[in-house]
Structure 1
């Protein structure tokens, strides 16, 4: 018997299983399999996830299971049920998914039993993104943003300069975040070759959705070579100065494990850097774009920044230097509302949990559904963010949507009931982004400096920016095309 025939006979049970798929059992949600074995509904979901889910919600109700690329994903579409999912910490686990996907995507060895305690120590290090450590990070970011702005964008010629807005945001935030988190070479204020590093990062980032889907990297052209270059850059972290407490602590943890290769340590650093930039940059772009597109919002936020400085007796002019500390940033409620509104309109993250056993998932006092071990339970908050019952005119940007009577607004409703979770760009529960407070501060600082020092205009004759849905499920969406804008140094002073 030929080897090929033996192989086919050996694969026959698997092929039959794939062709047959699975059938819905009593108590399970409606099952949507699609007509292509294994692939299921992956192509339709990937084309426009929000549209796909809304159409299936109308047909099957708030809970249904979809076969997507070999996985069975049960979507919970009613935001009133989100708390029931988040609290199932034992039977629904996020880390099983992330611990499998992250090593594959960023190129480091899984944290298996040979690295006992490593995962727990790494998780504990995230407390250094809060409290006093957050204050130090915020101060450092302020200085690095001003450094990049002054050296690259604040020539005193007084004229208008043109640029591409997303690229502008990316270049400034990329380098300032790198300097803040990882520091700089001992003999220099800035890293050499940042443009090359950033181009490699962008090249890798374009393939990120495919890597998360665990497409073999050898099918993705030069992606592995690009990733190797990015990892190699972070081999030198130990020799840099002004490194953040967070990164220093992680480096100390890695040094405790003799069998952890240097390339694995560098890949871990690269993963954290991607997490620091990958969603923060598009969130910064959308905040700036919406503000510049809405002059009333732009003026209100600029006035708020100036008022906070004036209240603290801070004199400022375009020739001077200004620093906004963490407490001042917390008082910028209109700006925070504008950021949250931009995140509402642009984020398309998917909150995933993996069922650890077959069990009945209790949804509320009356309902439960049967789920199987290994199935994904998914929340897709974009559907809530664009729900007209929760948000009036949901496609419209309203910079003060999260303001009420001079305070942050937190009361949003569905079916007459107050929502516990009404804005979820950073995940939920155990999967909630630990760096979210720093990310918000970064965006605030960037916008503050830009609005204080520059006049800003969109160039005429271009269409409005729209969302690139190819990254749906992975965080903040990028613009389909970049936006041209003009900027020049302001001459107005703050009294």
Structure 2
């Protein structure tokens, strides 16, 4: 009984009695209740296995899977997370109403962006969720058209001047181009002065903020994270109603979100800017590194680049378009989707580089039904699906460590059938999550990457300079696309 009281006290973040809490937590959780999954807590109070996990997330999880099976609980930075690795058990997590994504996500939004009202106002949650319908259908077609126009404007300078080789770091290139294209497509262009100057300054602050994101969502006090709090405050102020009023060309989704926020906040409330920062972060945080890895793998595999160029050329010829000066080409969303090798390349990059996990908060004690046995979960814990274990399963994907640009193509069409243990998998690729937590902007993100790759492959000669293997930075081991541990030089010039 005393153990259970102790566990209840420490199911949340560490309080001011830091050392005492850590020791008690470590001791109390050594006593498992009947039916609970195996517990791996390491020897460090509070941190648990966080350091081992961060060194090699996939290798660490595979080791635990061999030792304990497909379901086990790990202590990571003060959180007890039960991982479900059997893909045939994913639905038991996704459909269970005692497992909440909203509670988990609202806590993340409060820690990372200082958005507080969502934790206490379900109506605001529900209304903002409706906005995501403007990232699909006809609204997505409008965004696609506007994005192509913005991409044209951003790259025209390179097209006009890059008649000789231009050398630049690849990640820096992706950061610059994609941030500006995304911001101008979603939020518009500055009325007061240079849009380029404004987005450049915003991007520089954003990158500093984003670098600390994994620490922001932990329980480390923001005051211990250097100047990230002041950077976040600056970003929020630049995205308040007052500043956004100086930008024209808001997308439908931004306009609808602003209208909703003005119902629940005063116009001067800084938390409106915090909402916009969260939306901007979600729009670029995974798109930029995905574009980096797509370019990196294509530059490393010229045979793949050649196939994509042929596919794009064939589409342009079939639609009566010619590659002239400037940007005479125009591709609709349906035409972009017809480029099966291009899409397969992007999906393969997502398979290799996405380390997102799908989290749910346990609202009440419950039992998860699975094979070969059922497992009991405690109220206040987290449950997670870890897709990299699926993405790197050699039973599902042959030679999973290799980049194969055509892995998701079969008989000239998109391949959607994959098996494990002789059974067809409903979920075989999960970089965008699933269920309630599935990324609502996934269609726009894929389109943006397709557009930029089409333009670069059509108009530019591209070569890698640093022919060296690039490893991933595992600091984001449970959140999104892994960033590269270092940048790499490449060069480009306009095709003659």
Provide the TM-score with structure 1 as the length reference.
0.93
State which drifts further: 96-105 or 192-201. 192-201
The counterpart of 1:452, out of the listed 451, 458, 479, is 458
SS in 1 for 2:81: strand
Displacement, 1:36? 2.1
Q: How many residues align?
A: 480
Deviations 1:235-258 (A, max 9, x none): 211332111000000000011124
Residues 328, 35 of structure 1: alpha-carbon distance in 2 compared, 3 angstrom cutoff: same
Within the alignment, does 1:484 sit opposite 2:489 as a pair?
A: yes
Q: Match of 1:26?
A: 34
Displacement, 1:50? 1.2
In 2, Cα distance between equivalents of 1:9 and 1:380: 32
The counterpart of 1:59, out of the listed 58, 67, 72, is 67
List alignment gaps of at least 5 residues for structure 1: 1-6
Q: Match of 1:465?
A: 470
SS in 2 for 1:67: strand
Displacement, 1:445? 0.4
Q: Match of 1:212?
A: 217
Deviations 1:6-34 (A, max 9, x none): x9999968853454334212111111122
Q: Match of 1:315?
A: 322
The counterpart of 2:381, out of the listed 375, 397, 406, is 375
Deviations 1:137-158 (A, max 9, x none): 111111111110013x223452
The counterpart of 1:356, out of the listed 329, 349, 363, is 363
Q: Is the 8 A contact 1:63 1:75 kept in 2?
A: yes
In 1, Cα distance between equivalents of 2:205 and 2:448: 23
Displacement, 1:220? 0.6
Q: Is the 8 A contact 1:83 1:420 kept in 2?
A: no
Residues 9, 164 of structure 1: alpha-carbon distance in 2 compared, 3 angstrom cutoff: closer
Matches within 5 A, 1:416-431: 416-431=422-437
Deviations 1:190-249 (A, max 9, x none): 343332221111111110000011311100111011111111111211332111000000
Residues 10, 465 of structure 1: alpha-carbon distance in 2 compared, 3 angstrom cutoff: closer
Q: Match of 2:251?
A: 244
Q: Match of 1:232?
A: 237
The counterpart of 1:324, out of the listed 318, 321, 331, is 331
Q: Match of 1:303?
A: 310
List alignment gaps of at least 5 residues for structure 2: 1-14
Q: Is the 8 A contact 1:101 1:214 kept in 2?
A: no
Q: Is the 8 A contact 1:411 1:419 kept in 2?
A: yes
In 1, Cα distance between equivalents of 2:305 and 2:106: 42
Q: Is the 8 A contact 1:105 1:214 kept in 2?
A: no
Q: Match of 1:126?
A: 132
Within the alignment, does 1:142 sit opposite 2:148 as a pair?
A: yes
Q: Match of 1:111?
A: 118
SS in 1 for 2:117: coil
SS in 1 for 2:384: strand
Q: Match of 2:276?
A: 269
Residues 188, 30 of structure 1: alpha-carbon distance in 2 compared, 3 angstrom cutoff: same
Give the root-mean-square deviation of aligned CA atoms.
2.1
State which drifts further: 15-24 or 205-214. 15-24
Displacement, 1:39? 2.1
Provide the TM-score with structure 2 as the length reference.
0.92
Residues 16, 191 of structure 1: alpha-carbon distance in 2 compared, 3 angstrom cutoff: same
In 2, Cα distance between equivalents of 1:338 and 1:10: 47
In 1, Cα distance between equivalents of 2:41 and 2:22: 17
Deviations 1:461-490 (A, max 9, x none): x41222111111101001111010010001
Residues 14, 325 of structure 1: alpha-carbon distance in 2 compared, 3 angstrom cutoff: closer
Within the alignment, does 1:436 sit opposite 2:433 as a pair?
A: no
Q: Match of 1:3?
A: none
Q: Is the 8 A contact 2:471 2:484 kept in 1?
A: yes
In 1, Cα distance between equivalents of 2:18 and 2:100: 33
Q: Match of 2:10?
A: none
Displacement, 1:117? 1.5
Q: Is the 8 A contact 1:85 1:363 kept in 2?
A: no
Q: Match of 1:165?
A: 170
Displacement, 1:107? 2.1
Within the alignment, does 1:221 sit opposite 2:226 as a pair?
A: yes
The counterpart of 2:182, out of the listed 177, 181, 190, is 177
